[in-house]
Amino acid sequence: MGLSLRMRRRGGAKKDILTPAISSSEEEEEIVIPSQFQCPISYDLMKDPVIIASGITYDRENIEKWFESGNQTCPVTNTVLATLEQTPNHAIRRMIQEWCVAKGSSLDRVSTPRVPISSHQAIEICGKLLSATRRGDHVVCVEMVEKMKRLVQESERNTKCFKANGVGLVLCVCFNAFSENANASELLEDVLLLLTWMFPIGSEGQANLTSTTSFTRIVGFLKSGDQNAAFLVKELLSLDEANVDKLATINGVFDALVKSIRDSSSLTSIFYMISAKPETTSRFMELGLVNSTVEMLVDSENSVCEKALLVLDAICESNEGRTIVRGNELVMPILVKKILKISEFAKKSLVSVMWKICKTGDGTEVEEALRLGAFKKLVVMLQVGCGEGTKEKVTELLKMMNRHMKTNGFVDVSDSSIEFMHLKKPS
């Protein structure tokens, strides 16, 4: 038995079109896909048939999903497989292609797929790159890295194969070895690109990328706006706080991060640096970090707002930071506007920023927040629900505003007090 497809040939049409049946008056032609051309998992026509250790042929995409789910058996025979390797079934593929051609325009011809690399091939390429790196052979390194880049861009399976066979470490060694070579920029750019797919890279790979020469070269790429460099800096800082100390010593890194702040990776890196090394805050302040971060809050997507608010919150940990944040006229209007429009994660940082600048201010911040309508929005936020730490800060902010209204007669206190009466005290 084969799978049937119903094909309609519309009157007067020159081409056969596969469509659902609509009217019994239209001429219909049934195409039966031979069973040997169907994948035993999906029962669809195979596009990339491969044989596994049990001798059964499957479509590569389907059997890979089966293996990736943790299965080590043949779906048809249920036997445990000695190996999960897949071998292209060229004979079946050619038969499928010929069958598709015989059906004319009724079916798309199955193209010849690119065969994924094997673990043996990945190890071989990796070995050649490592050998060339050790002897300083720039030409062969370029050749191997370009080959890797082509294969990685061909399929995700190739990427996984390289990653599983230790290519990440070798790329780190290569980058470190050529980091002082002024003529190796193109090679190093390609290595950075490949490394974005290879994390985590392990402690040895990390040591190579965080050497003074490697970090200096990465910062150099960051200065030129290289997004892969920004991603690598972020990943390296997230792995170990010690990397923050190393990066902070690299000339021009603060300026490079602030200039590339529109890249969310750089924004995250700034957060890591300020959080792990608070003394870096002053340097970032000198470069206009607050203004740049506030500008990003105006029209950025939610994920960027989350990171920008994290940075502002970290800045507000210091007196200097809070003073500069208060001095930006856009801060409070933006915070109030976004209270109910951002994710729960972002709200936590937003409330923390507002609480820090209001609690340590002279009262003008509380008055501005009230004038902008923060009171009712915070009440809604509390009623909808939020985390315990955030809830305490919101409650304290509302108490500050309530006292200010009663003391200064800022608005009609009665209605606001009624709302405030129903707020639960933090436990």
pLDDT digits (tens, 9 = 90+) for 82-133: 998 888 898 998 898 888 888 765 555 556 666 788 889 999 999 999 999 9
CA-angle at 63, arms to 60 and 66, nearest 5°: 150
The pTM for the full model equals 0.72
Residue 332's alpha-carbon distances to 282, 329, 357, 365, 368, in angstroms, are 22, 7, 10, 8, 7
Q: What is the mean pLDDT of the chain?
A: 86
CB-facing half-sphere around the CA of 164: CA atoms within 13 A? 12
Q: Answer yes or no: is pLDDT of 197 > 70.
A: yes
Q: Answer yes or no: is pLDDT of 245 > 70.
A: yes
In whole angstroms, give the CA distance from residue 91 to residue 273: 58
Average pLDDT over residues 15-39: 58
CB-facing half-sphere around the CA of 416: CA atoms within 13 A? 21
Q: Answer yes or no: is pLDDT of 276 > 70.
A: yes
pLDDT bucket at 13, cuts 50 / 70 / 90: very low
Angle separating helix axes 167-178 and 212-223, nearest 10 degrees = 90
* 273 touches 247 (CB < 8 A): yes
Q: What are the b/e assignments for 288-313, b being 16+ CB within 10 Å?
A: ebbebbbbbbeebeeebbbbbbbbbb
Q: Answer yes or no: is pLDDT of 247 > 50.
A: yes
- pLDDT, residue 24, reads 41
Question: Where do the domains of the chain lie, and which CATH numbers do they carry?
Answer: 35-103 (3.30.40.10), 289-410 (1.25.10.10)
* 336 touches 376 (CB < 8 A): no
Average pLDDT over residues 266-288: 94
In whole angstroms, give the CA distance from residue 200 to residue 78: 34
Phi, psi of 64 (to 5 degrees): -65, -40
- pLDDT, residue 415, reads 43
**Amino acid identity of 105?**
S
Q: Answer yes or no: is pLDDT of 157 > 90.
A: no
Average pLDDT over residues 367-387: 91
CB-facing half-sphere around the CA of 2: CA atoms within 13 A? 14
- pLDDT, residue 416, reads 41
pLDDT digits (tens, 9 = 90+) for 41-78: 999 999 889 999 999 999 988 998 899 889 999 999 99
Phi, psi of 166 (to 5 degrees): 80, 20
Proportion of the chain above pLDDT 70, given as a percent? 86
Could you write out the DSSP letters of every residue in 217-283? HHHHHHHTT-HHHHHHHHHHHHH-THHHHHHHTSTTHHHHHHHTTTSHHHHHHHHHHHHH-GGGHHH
